[in-house]
Structure 1
């Protein structure tokens, strides 16, 4: 089940409470803002939150995605993984002053799940 709604959402919320987990924030945005994401990670962690964010920067060279075909398949897997991070999170923090198609889709997905969405640059909120 890709969307956590209703009973599934309640079970996840109950499990988080039973485990006394701090708030979980997922960082979204273009990987061109990886330095800003790392800074946001530090700040959010300092505020006592669990932070999840993109783990791969496909814009930077690496052997794992040097083959174009493998890179395309990896991108699809990473998109699925990031949607799972959004489902897990209590809120979303969008980093950067640019919103591309992938980030716009992540924002829409988060909002469809009822996740609050914050922006480091509120003027880029596509729904503002």
Structure 2
């Protein structure tokens, strides 16, 4: 008698997305200095029939929600965790921009540890190339 197959929550997520026949989900990553390029990539990916998730806040732009430096640092930690959840939800990652900082490098490593394909608008910045 074979032992029952143990499925992880991640396995169940993949199965549920397949059963729902969802389009591919793309997580856009990169420095928020490239927000305009991220928006353009979002348009292209959406036109191609993909669901897009991307950073929703640009902490480099003035906003009362993060005008206090202490609150901004707390918010950045929350937003980083939220973005990792977007990567977990996604089927693939698109890295936008011609610069990779520590945060984006960490996101790429996380996506690859999950087995997510990673595409680049500028392939020459792939830290593993």
The interval holding the TM-score normalised by the smaller chain is over 0.9
**Residue in 1 aligned with 2:24?**
23
Please identify runs of 4+ aligned residues in structure 1 that moved more than 3 A: none
- The residue aligned with 2:63 is 62
Give the TM-score normalised by structure 1: 0.94
User: 2-side partners of 1:37 and 1:61: how far apart?
Assistant: 18
Secondary structure at the aligned position of 1:81 is classed as helix
Equivalent residue, structure 1, for 2:50? 49
Whichever of the two has the greater Rg, that structure is: 2
Q: Secondary structure at the match of 2:27?
A: strand
Is 1:86 the counterpart of 2:87 in the alignment? yes
RMSD (Å) for aligned C-alpha atoms: 0.7
TM-score w.r.t. length of structure 2: 0.94
CA shift at 1:125, angstroms? 0.1
Q: What's the CA shift for 1:94?
A: 0.1
Q: Count the aligned residue pairs.
A: 123
Shift of the alpha carbon at 1:85?
A: 0.3
Q: Unaligned stretches of 5+ in structure 2?
A: 1-6
Q: Secondary structure at the match of 2:8?
A: helix
The Cα of 1:31 is off from its aligned counterpart by 0.2
Is residue 37 from structure 1 mapped to residue 38 from structure 2 by the alignment? yes
Q: Which ranges of structure 1 fall in alignment gaps of 5 or more residues?
A: 1-5
